[in-house]
Amino acid sequence: MIGQKLRAFMYGRYGMDQLNMALLILCSLLILVNFFVNSYILSLIATLIVIWETFRALSKKHYARQKENTVFLKFWAPTEKWIRTRYTRFKERNVYKYRTCPNCKATLRLPAKKGRHTTKCPKCATEFSVRI
């Protein structure tokens, strides 16, 4: 009964997308941090985020909400890629080391063998010495 009413209420409304998910996570983090610092401004920001998020989820203007999400994804995609790269490098830190080619600035993934080695960049064929 309640589920049916909720479904009827949500019919035609925008719902969740990546931007709303990010807002939800951001808001949760703010609330968590606010447990420790107990700041009025932080709780105000968290409240505003909840209001914005609710407005977006209940909105019936799908086109405008999708445009907002597209703008968000344009900013978020490179950030996510950067985070994933750092995470992968951290996970493989005992197997590979990453060094930059002095000539073309390409990033090379080298086996993590300690000492000084000579390596050749596969992109520009420059030979240079690296210390790992």
Interacting residue ranges for Zn ion, rule: CB under 5 A: 101, 103-104, 106, 121, 123-124, 126
* Beta bridge partners of residue 96, listed in sequence order: 111
Nearer to Zn ion, 60 or 123 (CB): 123
Nearer to Zn ion, 54 or 103 (CB): 103
57 alpha-carbon distance from chain centroid: 21
Residue 109: partners with Cβ closer than 8 Å, 6 or more residues away: 96, 97, 98
Tokens of 110: 């080298």
CB 51 within 8 A of CB 88: no
Measured CA distances, 104 to 96, 101, 128, 130 (Å): 20, 6, 12, 15
As a whole number of angstroms, the distance between CA 33 and CA 35 comes to 5
Q: Which amino acid is at 21?
A: M
